[in-house]
Structure 1
């Protein structure tokens, strides 16, 4: 093997004392070391950001709203990605071996699929919630309640679990005995092309289409509301108010565009690449490169849906200063408190 500046691969065995052990590729080149550091930082940041969101919404009573419950569900799914999925993929990326045993190899893909799909459906529920809030604000408190949203979250996660059972049953990965393992130290899931197409439709095309339509309708309603506001406040003395309205409309458009752009960048490359091959396994370059890009969406979600809001910045300040350990901290006013 050529020991170049870019990589240095030395072939060893995952379990030297086992005759059925897989060969191990130890990647020690500077590129892999840099990649390990970058991916580890992304994993840690994903865990910290989503954990802060979970603690904030769970602890402070003022944040127990329907919308924030959906953000909490999203943060839980993304936390699983940063806490379990990313480290597992980093381990396999660095030396190609699976050290956690057959049972963990069976569970790991299930958790991966569940958390990614739950994250997608949480984004879908958030879009539906925002659409009702903007397009029917007077009836929103009656239509959307904490109990109804909690039920939707339970049904959503249950649906994801049921889909995973069906998906892995037809891809022969529903029991540890069905694992496609040729040697000791390997953990590979083979996904059939037909199921890739079905998963592409269910996990990307349908949710993204609904999200895109809902956000387009939200922006259209916001634009009409801004025009109505400018018409009412038309006049020299109200020029300032009209400019504020126009600025709000521009900010809304930029935020919605950012949400859609991030979603596309993280998801499109994986599905376009995976659909171009007959079968995808978790050891192929498609999964390693574009799968990580898909996971990166879990790092961006807390930034898009939480960090940009004042209540999150105030709650983080209370968490970092340990004020949440005060007896009355759960009743702090986060909306009007200065950052």
Structure 2
């Protein structure tokens, strides 16, 4: 669609025709925009459904009440907020540039956006830390990582994300209703200041990005070392079979680590890079909207990378879809293979899968 056709598909109206200071309404119509809104709506629905399945699975089945799954539950909760509130609001604003809910609702949805994005990022960091401990010190993992410690850590992390979001918005004059000064009636715009952008990039991009990259690199190195140690103690036929398994494990781990890191960087680098390089950043700029949606997509990919590949998740989904979770004692059902303990050591080698 060229520029002329795009301009023809935008009809200018007013958000509140009865108010003189009303903002202009830009209604995007046409088949191209309709397909875009349908596509984004499908992403939002899929994000909600996938993360809701993860939350129900881990919450319902007692066998899944482990520190690792608690971290995945935190990630799913943050991504659920993204799909349930942030994505729909942004879709409506793309369709209709007006904001009809007032300044308080604008502040609330902005806080939810920042909290969910921050909590999602740091949940991924905690998962990386958890997996590193599981691989580096599997014998003492159960004592070093407990359910109580995980709960306390997540409470502190979510509290920090909420507090940071409040301070961040206050510094950018978008927290108190008396601070907000709109150019016209019917808009919800956050204008970010450079110092706050720099701090945000350090705390919520450079720090988590570096941590995830370093930890997953160490996980892969340790997995290779343990796989070679297993091959070294085998002999004859067992040695050859174990070698095949170890090579397969290394290959699978390398591919999975590559996918996790690639998706993470692809989703987040454009948003923060544009925030740093752009002269002025507002929440309604075309560049911000494009890269923000790319970051939102990370919430759709997370349940796929961190849960769907697990056998216990596929089994629990069957229980949920067939409504078997409403049966008596369904919460204590066994979701793991009967020979799970025989593969406990292999699980530490192939830490990204079960």
TM-score, with structure 1 as normaliser: 0.96
Helix, strand or coil: the match of 2:178? helix
Cα distance, 1:237 vs structure 2: 5.3
- Show CA shifts across 1:57-95 (max 9, x none): 000000000000000000000000000000010011112
Structure 1 contact 3–9 (Cα < 8 Å) conserved: no
Alignment of 1:319-334 (within 5 A): 319-334=320-335
Q: Which residue does the alignment assign to 1:184?
A: 185
Q: Which residue does the alignment assign to 1:53?
A: 54
Cα distance, 1:211 vs structure 2: 1.0
- Show CA shifts across 1:241-268 (max 9, x none): 2111110111011111111000000000
Alignment of 1:311-326 (within 5 A): 311-326=312-327
Structure 1 contact 127–211 (Cα < 8 Å) conserved: yes
Q: Distance in 2 between matches of 1:170 and 1:312?
A: 42
Q: Which residue does the alignment assign to 2:36?
A: 35
Which stretch shifts more, 235-244 or 197-206? Answer: 235-244
Q: Distance in 2 between matches of 1:105 and 1:239?
A: 62
Q: Distance in 2 between matches of 1:115 and 1:179?
A: 22
Cα distance, 1:273 vs structure 2: 1.3
Distance verdict in 2 for CA 1:235–1:57, change over 3 Å: same
| Number of equivalences | 338
Q: Distance in 1 between matches of 2:248 and 2:37?
A: 42
Cα distance, 1:115 vs structure 2: 0.4
Q: Which residue does the alignment assign to 1:78?
A: 79
2:275 aligned with 1:274: yes
CA RMSD of aligned residues (A): 1.7
Q: Distance in 1 between matches of 2:250 and 2:75?
A: 26
Distance verdict in 2 for CA 1:2–1:149, change over 3 Å: closer
2:289 aligned with 1:254: no
Cα distance, 1:7 vs structure 2: 5.7
Unaligned 5+ residue runs, structure 1?
none
Helix, strand or coil: the match of 2:268? helix
Cα distance, 1:160 vs structure 2: 0.6
Q: Distance in 2 between matches of 1:236 and 1:248?
A: 18
Q: Which residue does the alignment assign to 1:205?
A: 206
Cα distance, 1:52 vs structure 2: 0.4
Cα distance, 1:6 vs structure 2: 8.4
Structure 1 contact 46–299 (Cα < 8 Å) conserved: yes
Q: Which residue does the alignment assign to 2:229?
A: 228
Structure 1 contact 7–27 (Cα < 8 Å) conserved: no
Cα distance, 1:180 vs structure 2: 3.4
- Show CA shifts across 1:7-63 (max 9, x none): 601001111222221110110022211110110000000000000000000000000
Q: Distance in 2 between matches of 1:148 and 1:75?
A: 19
Q: Distance in 2 between matches of 1:243 and 1:282?
A: 52
Which stretch shifts more, 266-275 or 40-49? Answer: 266-275
Which stretch shifts more, 171-180 or 41-50? Answer: 171-180
Structure 1 contact 180–188 (Cα < 8 Å) conserved: no
Q: Distance in 1 between matches of 2:221 and 2:88?
A: 42
Cα distance, 1:143 vs structure 2: 0.7
Structure 1 contact 188–282 (Cα < 8 Å) conserved: yes
TM-score, with structure 2 as normaliser: 0.92
Cα distance, 1:162 vs structure 2: 1.5
Which stretch shifts more, 254-263 or 193-202? Answer: 193-202
Q: Distance in 2 between matches of 1:183 and 1:41?
A: 32
Helix, strand or coil: the match of 2:5? coil
Structure 1 contact 13–24 (Cα < 8 Å) conserved: yes
Q: Distance in 2 between matches of 1:61 and 1:137?
A: 22
Q: Distance in 1 between matches of 2:115 and 2:3?
A: 40
Q: Distance in 1 between matches of 2:192 and 2:240?
A: 59
Which stretch shifts more, 320-329 or 16-25? Answer: 16-25
